[in-house]
Structures are given as structure tokens and as C-alpha cells.
Amino acid sequence: MRIDVSAATGDDQEPAVRVWQAANLARGLKPSPARVERVRDKLRASDALLVVARSDGVVIGMTLAEQARLGDGAGAIRSGAGHVSMVFVDPLEQGAGVGRALLAGLHRGAEARGWVELAVWTRRANARAQRLYRSAGYRPTGRIRELPTGEAILQLRLTRTPSQVRSIMLLMPSKQRNS
């Protein structure tokens, strides 16, 4: 299967929502209509870094990063850092490298924004997601929180030095650097 990863366009937002919904339903999590609307709002935000994966022109995966904020997202903007809010792959396509390809595309977009750090929270019970993030260079921070459901989530972080980001930027085609 050929996987094409790119920054999303406006036309990709609803297919991205459908992937998110399908992946959640496959995990036994039925999002409420209000939650679906909040996700749509996040994907439409002007500062959203939405990346999609396509196979044969069909969106099969999505990831979203946002500018990091202090206070676990409630405070002021944190310069040079992003928060990985979502990584979801169509359940029928999982295990085929789509998640790794999505993270690589997300990292290129983050580097273009000058983000030297990306952090993500994931369920402690989600071993598959933890393997994906670790394989991409993320490391546990030691922070663990509890969701209102009582389920534990843990934070992982990827950090690059500014010189690493500059080196990567120089290797990127100018079209990608300027997008």
C-alpha cells in the first residue's frame, strides 16, 4: 500500500473527523455529538497543524498538533513547543505503518514552525500508541494524570535542539519549508 502524507486542506477536515470517529468506535469509545463538534473546531483552528495520510486518494489517518501552552494547555503560549493532540488511523489500516508516516509528516510541519519540542498524552493502557511514540523518539516524562473516567494517561516528549531543527529545515525542499 502506498501512503501519501501531507498537510491537510479544508476538504480533508471531515474525512479526518470520520477517521477519528472510526478509530474511537473501534476502541469502544463512542464520542458524544458535543465532542465531535469540539474536534471539528480544533481541526478548523487557524493555527492547527493537521496532517493526513491518504491511500488511493482516501484519507486513512490523521494527526493534529497545536501550539503548546503552559498550565497543561490552559495558560499562555509556550514558544518553540507543540502539543500532539491526536493521532488516529482507520482501524482497517492499522499496523501498516500509517501512524509512523503521520508522525514523520507532523514532525516536518512542527520543524517548519520552529517547534523544538512536542509532547503528547496517551492512555497508560494503550501499549500500541506508546510503542509508536517511542519508535519516533518520544520519551516518558514521568508525568501521569487521571482522566475523569479514572483511566490513567501518561506524557511522552520529543525534544530536538534548535540546531537539529535548522539542519532538518535545510534538508527540506523549499516548497515544504515555506508551506
Domains of the chain: 4-177 (3.40.630.30)
* Tens-digit pLDDT profile for residues 7-41: 999 999 999 999 999 999 998 989 999 999 999 99
* Tens-digit pLDDT profile for residues 47-105: 899 999 999 999 999 999 999 988 878 888 898 999 999 999 999 999 999 999 999 99
Which residues, including other chains, have CB under 8 Å from residue 168's CB and lie 6 or more apart?
Answer: 108, 111, 160
Pull the grid cell for residue 76. Answer: 499562555
Nearest to 13 by CA among 23, 24, 21, 2: 21
Pull the grid cell for residue 126. Answer: 494503550
Enter the pTM of the model.
0.86
